């Protein structure tokens, strides 16, 4: 019987909301299905206890800042002290603990390093400190897109052969839903019959001011602003209810909403460069994110051209089908096995 690979996986990002948490949750849930792996998980949060279904979770009621100091600054305590011996430790994007195991980490983007003006100085300092450790100690970096790989090469001394691209996935819950369910959700949330959807958030990168300018003649719903943020379970309903998603952020490492919306049969207007273009392919309309008039034209074309709308929906469903968490997990396991075979 072949010996299982012992993997230690930091899932502390589950204490937060956002794309990194989505990645961590879905990847972990798929990895545990692989019979070649023996997984254990590291989780630290002071305020949010772990309540998921994963087995083998080592839980610590301590803030991330404690482990940032312990692992990124002091560096005299190994991760094995908290979770026992592992063959490979897969770290999150916050801390890089010392370990005698082989080390894998995932980079979702390099925003604090490439665009420090968009992040708090303390966050920039943490990421710079961690990058220095990654450059010296990491055995393999997983980048979630070719764009992230390119950006990481531009801001670091990591060699290209130590970076493997593994795309993120789209959850099975993102799909075209029955019209009755969507209409009930629409009525419950007082949503108009036709509306443009944008996703809210803090900071210049979200580009919401230009999106608002582009949508002055349309009904614009901004999740987290004009309506409250919806739960994860309701997000597929929100995508289904929308006539078009406008996702013209100024920078992305991947851009999960693009393929989530496409999987729900909702056409997308997105930015015309970087990861936006890489992930959406020819299944979206693209606009210069700094040009609100271009964004407006893209939205108008979809809302007024039924043939174009149907074409984008069909292409979007096909494009979204290229991404799955099962595929992401399988390719991550290939990274683990290749690493072990070469060390």
Q: Where are the domains of the chain?
A: 5-169+324-341, 179-320
Report the alpha-carbon distance of residue 327 to residue 334 in Å, rounded.
Answer: 11
Options 3.40.190.10, 3.40.50.2000, 3.90.1300.10, 2.40.110.10; which CATH number does 179-320 get? 3.40.50.2000
E strand or H helix that includes residue 59: strand 57-60
DSSP string, 97-166: ---SSEEEEEES--HHHH-GGGS-HHHHHHHHHHHHHHHHH-SEEEESSHHHHHHHHHHS---GGGEEE-
Per-residue pLDDT of the chain (343 residues; tens, 9 = 90+): 578 999 999 999 999 988 999 999 999 999 999 999 999 999 999 989 999 999 999 999 998 889 999 999 999 999 999 999 999 999 988 899 999 999 999 999 999 999 999 999 999 999 999 999 999 999 999 999 999 999 999 999 999 999 999 999 999 999 999 999 999 999 999 999 999 999 998 889 999 999 999 999 999 999 999 999 999 999 999 999 999 999 999 999 999 999 999 999 999 999 999 999 999 999 999 999 999 999 999 999 999 999 999 999 999 999 999 999 999 999 999 999 999 999 8
E strand or H helix that includes residue 247: strand 244-247
* CATH code for the domain defined by 5-169+324-341: 3.40.50.2000
What pTM was computed for the model?
A: 0.95
Closest CA to 205 of 269, 249, 254: 249
What would the two tokens of residue 325 be? 């968490």
| Equal CATH topology for 5-169+324-341 and 179-320 | yes
Distance from the Cα of residue 122 to its chain's centroid:
22
Closest CA to 279 of 19, 47, 18: 19
Report the alpha-carbon distance of residue 286 to residue 295 in Å, rounded.
Answer: 8
């Amino acid at each position: 019987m072949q010996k299982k690979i012992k993997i230690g996986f930091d899932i502390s990002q589950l204490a937060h909301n956002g794309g990194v948490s989505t990645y961590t949750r879905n990847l972990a849930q798929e990895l545990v299905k692989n019979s070649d792996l023996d997984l254990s998980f590291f989780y630290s949060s002071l305020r949010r206890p772990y309540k998921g279904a994963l087995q083998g979770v080592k839980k610590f009621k301590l803030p991330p800042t404690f482990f940032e100091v312990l692992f990124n600054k002091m560096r005299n305590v190994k991760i094995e002290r908290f979770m026992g011996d592992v063959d490979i430790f897969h770290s999150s994007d916050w801390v890089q603990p010392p370990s005698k195991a082989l080390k894998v980490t995932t980079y979702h983007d390099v925003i604090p390093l490439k665009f420090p003006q968009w992040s708090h100085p303390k966050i920039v300092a943490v990421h710079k400190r961690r990058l220095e450790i990654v450059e010296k100690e990491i055995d393999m970096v997983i980048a979630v897109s070719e764009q992230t790989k390119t950006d990481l090469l531009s801001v670091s001394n990591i060699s290209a052969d130590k970076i493997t691209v593994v795309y993120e996935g789209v959850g099975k819950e993102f799909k075209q839903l029955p019209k009755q369910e969507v209409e009930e959700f629409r009525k419950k949330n007082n949503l108009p019959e036709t509306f443009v959807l944008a996703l809210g958030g803090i900071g210049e990168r979200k580009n919401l001011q230009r999106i608002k300018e582009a949508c002055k003649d349309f009904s614009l719903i901004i999740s987290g602003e004009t309506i409250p943020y919806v739960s994860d379970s309701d997000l597929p309903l929100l995508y289904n209810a929308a006539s078009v998603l406008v996702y013209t952020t100024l920078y992305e490492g991947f851009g999960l909403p693009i393929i989530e919306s496409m999987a729900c049969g909702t056409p997308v207007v997105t930015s015309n460069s970087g990861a936006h273009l890489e992930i959406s392919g020819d299944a979206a309309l693209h606009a210069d994110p700094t040009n609100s008039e271009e964004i407006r034209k893209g939205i108008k074309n979809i809302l007024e051209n039924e043939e174009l709308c149907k074409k984008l929906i069909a292409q979007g469903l096909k494009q979204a089908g290229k991404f799955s968490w099962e595929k992401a997990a399988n390719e991550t396991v290939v990274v683990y096995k290749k690493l072990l075979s070469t060390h």
